[in-house]
Amino acid sequence: MSGSDAPEPMTARRSGALTGRAHVPGDKSISHRSLILGAMCVGETRVEGLLEGEDVLATAAAMRAFGAEVADSGEGGWSVHGVGVGGFGEPADVIDCGNSGTGARLVMGAMATTPITATFTGDASLRSRPMGRVTEPLADFGARAVGRPGGRLPMTITGAMDPVPVNYTMPVASAQVKSAILLAGLNAPGETVVIEREATRDHTERMLRGFGAGIAVDEEADGRVITLEGHAELRPQVISVPRDPSSAAFPVAAALIVEGSDVLVPNVGINPTRTGFYATLREMGADLTLENEREEGGEPVADIRARFSPELKGIEVPPERAASMIDEYPILSIVSAFAEGRTIMRGVGELRVKECDRIDAMATGLRASGGAVREGEDWWEIEGMGPAGVPGGARVEARLDHRVAMSFLCLGLGAKDAVTVDDAAPIATSFPTFSALMSELGASLDPVKAG
């Protein structure tokens, strides 16, 4: 699992033009959901383009522990023989979700309305993250959870014997919480209703519809109202996973800040609930185009082309855009440091409970690299250094956070002096090919030799 005992430091140095095609891995969110929904129907679901990162492999192992057969058929092709809604068996051992909040929270939801008991744990990062946001609505279905203080893992959940449907208004904008409730609702009688004031990524809704569940989404005055018919019978699917826009963000951002770059990232998911980062970059003046827009397997996809953009301008990112780019703020802070003027990000308190406190991690590393950052509980702002460039020259902490590690390595590619990340191992959770792919484009990335 990520964050193994031996850290793997890596150094990024100012690079020549990044050019070529960047085939980033499959979408992490859709990959988790493919395995979980595949496990919740009887018959074989086939998945092409699955992200074979540690997070998703932990979910594959979890699905096996609950009784599904999950097999790698080679070259990103996977097959899942599911056990049906309500068919999960009791795992013989603890479920280790590694670094993955998505895996932990969605699997908790999927088992919460089946009368079995399972204990969940994860790495030090995941064990520090709040699970009460999921276990509270799951308790409304009749599930019981006992964890460490503050709703932390390890945690044992006993699923409801006689689940009741739930009507839940989300207190936080979280696709993980929404999805946990919907997955639990599959095995409850009647209708489960989730109301979200701010739209979060809607892959679960789209995929549930594809798997044959009765699900309706209504845009109403008080938000998106999602109604799911319980006691669903899901039909196995053939799924083609688009490439991850959150992973594409790294080669795209690097191309914008490294002189002379021109990078194409093909087949990227551009679901509107995920593309706030790209809208923001355009507003900053990035040379960015979406080419070949099309629809594949119920999700919009496109090829994204990014070229060196020396005239980026700092902007105020609209807070209502936060959910659609929640994973991209770390890399946006790096791009902002290369822009002229200030970039302000508000309404982003959720960043403090991701794989680490991402505002603190990025602010600390940026300051060490010569940047100026101001922050409050749910906002931060970066003072751009424009054409003068970012000094760099720091050793920064990744804090078991893949996106923090990749963000600072991108910084090093454009900064005057090299940037070293203390541990690049967590990158394998979502983007195991990151260093090879970036090197192929021309990035100067080197593991630091021990001793």
Q: Which residues are catalytic?
A: 327
Among 327, 381, 397, 401, binds ligand S3P (CB under 6 A): 327
Triad 344, 346, 352: Cα angle to 5°: 115
- In 10 A of CB 197, how many CB atoms? 12
Contact call for residue 429 and ligand S3P (CB under 6 A): no
**If you write DSSP's letter for every residue of 274-323 in order, what string do you get?**
T-HHHHHHHHTT-EEEEEEEEEETTEEEEEEEEE--TT-B--EEPGGGGG
Q: Which residues contact 225 (CB under 8 A, 6 or more apart)?
A: 193, 194, 195, 217, 218, 219
What's the one-letter identity of residue 443? A
Nearest distance in Å: CB 396, ligand S3P: 21
Q: Interface with ligand S3P by CB under 6 A: which range of 71-79, 173-181, 186-194, 311-319?
A: 173-181
- One-letter amino acid at 1 equals M
Of 103 and 142, which CB lies nearer to ligand S3P in the complex structure? 103
CA torsion sign for 265, 59, 165, 89 is positive
| Residue of 37, 51, 153, 201 interacting with ligand S3P (CB under 6 A) | 201
Minimum CB distance to ligand S3P smaller for 196 or for 397: 196
Nearest distance from C-beta of residue 102 to ligand S3P, angstroms: 4
326 binds ligand S3P (CB under 6 A): yes
Query: Residue 45 or residue 176: which is nearer to ligand S3P going by CB?
Result: 176
User: CA-CA distances (angstroms) from residue 325 to 72, 161, 248?
Assistant: 31, 38, 12
Q: Taking CB under 6 A as the rule, which mask of x and - marks residues 27-46 in contact with ligand S3P? A: --x-----------------
Binding letters toward ligand S3P, positions 49-68, x by CB under 6 A? --------------------
Between 27 and 303, whose beta carbon lies closer to ligand S3P? 27
Q: Which residue is nearest to ligand S3P (CB)?
A: 29
Measured from the CB atom, the residue of 213 and 258 that comes closer to ligand S3P is 213
Q: Pattern 121-140, binding to ligand S3P, x per CB under 6 A? A: --------------------
Binding of ligand S3P by 102 (CB under 6 A): yes
- The conformation of residue 426, written as its DSSP 8-state character, comes to G
179 binds ligand S3P (CB under 6 A): yes
Interaction between residue 267 and ligand S3P (CB under 6 A): no
For ligand S3P, the closer of residues 106 and 445 by Cβ is 106
Question: How many of the chain's residues bind ligand S3P (CB under 6 A)?
Answer: 11
Amino acid 394 reads A
Which 338-377 residues touch ligand S3P, going by CB under 6 A? 350
Q: Is the peptide bond before 154 cis (omega within 30 degrees of 0)?
A: yes
Do 179 and 110 meet the contact criterion of CB atoms below 8 Å apart?
no
For 2-161, where are the E strands, in sequence order? 10-13, 19-21, 42-48, 69-74, 77-83, 95-96, 117-121, 144-148, 152-158
Residue given tokens 């302000």 in the structure block: 344
Question: 192, 185 in Cβ contact below 8 A?
Answer: yes
Q: Tell me which residues touch ligand S3P (CB under 6 A).
A: 29, 102, 174-176, 179, 200-201, 326-327, 350
